[in-house]
Structure 1
Amino acid sequence: MFRHQKELQFEVKVDRPDPMLARQVQEVLGGQFGEMTVMMQYLFQGFNCRGEEKYKDMLMDIGTEEIGHVEMLCSLISQLLDNASPEDQAEAAKDPVTASIMGGINPQHLLVSGLGGLPTNSNGVPWNGSYIVASGNLLADMRSNLHAESQGRLQVARLYHMTNDEGVRKTFRKMLARDRYHQYQWMAAIEELESKNGVVVPASFPPEAEEEAQEEAYKFWDLSEGEASSEGLWATGSAPDGTGHFEYVANPVAKGQIPNPKIPATEVHHDLDFKK
Structure 2
Amino acid sequence: MFRHQKELQFEVKVDKPDPMLARQIQEVLGGQFGEMTVMMQYLFQGFNCRGNEKYKDMLMDIGTEEIGHVEMLCSLISQLLDGASPDDQAEAAKDPTIAAIMGGVNPQHLLVSGLGGLPTNSNGVPWNGSYIVASGNLLADMRSNLHAESQGRLQVARLYHMTKDEGVRATFRKMLARDRYHQYQWLAAIEELEAKNGVVVPASFPPEMEMESQPEAYEFWNLSEGTESSDGLWATGSAQDGSGDFVYVKEPVAKGQVPKNKVPAESLHHDLNTIDALK
**TM-score for both structures, normalised by structure 1:** 0.99
Q: Which residue of 1 aligns with 2:187?
A: 187
Q: Which residue of 1 aligns with 2:232?
A: 232
Q: Which residue of 1 aligns with 2:88?
A: 88
Q: Which residue of 2 aligns with 1:116?
A: 116
Q: Which residue of 2 aligns with 1:248?
A: 248
In 1, Cα distance between the equivalents of 2:21 and 2:265?
A: 58
Q: Given residue 142 of structure 1, which amino acid in structure 2 is its aligned partner? A: M
Task: Tell whether the 8 Å contact from 1:18 to 1:81 is kept in structure 2 after alignment.
Answer: yes
Say which SS state the counterpart of residue 7 (structure 1) adopts: coil
Q: Given residue 231 of structure 1, which amino acid in structure 2 is its aligned partner? A: D
Q: Given residue 112 of structure 1, which amino acid in structure 2 is its aligned partner? A: V
The number of residues matched between the two structures is: 276
**Structure 1 residues 1-276: aligned runs within 5 Å:** 1-274=1-274, 275=277
In 2, Cα distance between the equivalents of 1:98 and 1:218?
A: 49
Q: Given residue 91 of structure 1, which amino acid in structure 2 is its aligned partner? A: E
In 1, Cα distance between the equivalents of 2:190 and 2:127?
A: 28
In the TM superposition, what is the alpha-carbon distance from 1:103 to its structure 2 partner?
2.2
Say which SS state the counterpart of residue 248 (structure 2) adopts: strand
In 2, Cα distance between the equivalents of 1:24 and 1:38?
A: 18
Alignment identity in percent?
86
In 1, Cα distance between the equivalents of 2:187 and 2:95?
A: 45
Task: Tell whether the 8 Å contact from 1:222 to 1:251 is kept in structure 2 after alignment.
Answer: yes
Q: Given residue 194 of structure 1, which amino acid in structure 2 is its aligned partner? A: E
Q: 5+ residue gaps in structure 1? A: none
Higher mean C-alpha displacement, 121-130 vs 98-107: 98-107
In 2, Cα distance between the equivalents of 1:257 and 1:13?
A: 64
Q: Given residue 212 of structure 2, which amino acid in structure 1 is its aligned partner? A: E
In 1, Cα distance between the equivalents of 2:151 and 2:228?
A: 27
Task: Tell whether the 8 Å contact from 1:88 to 1:105 is kept in structure 2 after alignment.
Answer: no
Runs of 4+ aligned structure 1 residues displaced above 3 Å come to none
In 1, Cα distance between the equivalents of 2:251 and 2:18?
A: 56
In the TM superposition, what is the alpha-carbon distance from 1:237 to its structure 2 partner?
2.1
In 1, Cα distance between the equivalents of 2:236 and 2:105?
A: 52
In 2, Cα distance between the equivalents of 1:95 and 1:188?
A: 47
Alignment RMSD, CA only?
0.8
Task: Tell whether the 8 Å contact from 1:14 to 1:166 is kept in structure 2 after alignment.
Answer: yes
In 1, Cα distance between the equivalents of 2:263 and 2:213?
A: 31
Q: 5+ residue gaps in structure 2? A: none
Q: Given residue 14 of structure 1, which amino acid in structure 2 is its aligned partner? A: V
In the TM superposition, what is the alpha-carbon distance from 1:152 to its structure 2 partner?
0.1
In the TM superposition, what is the alpha-carbon distance from 1:92 to its structure 2 partner?
2.0
Deviation readout 1:87-111 (Å, 9 max, x if unpaired) = 0122123221121112222000000
**TM-score for both structures, normalised by structure 2:** 0.98
Q: Given residue 82 of structure 1, which amino acid in structure 2 is its aligned partner? A: D
Task: Tell whether the 8 Å contact from 1:157 to 1:176 is kept in structure 2 after alignment.
Answer: yes
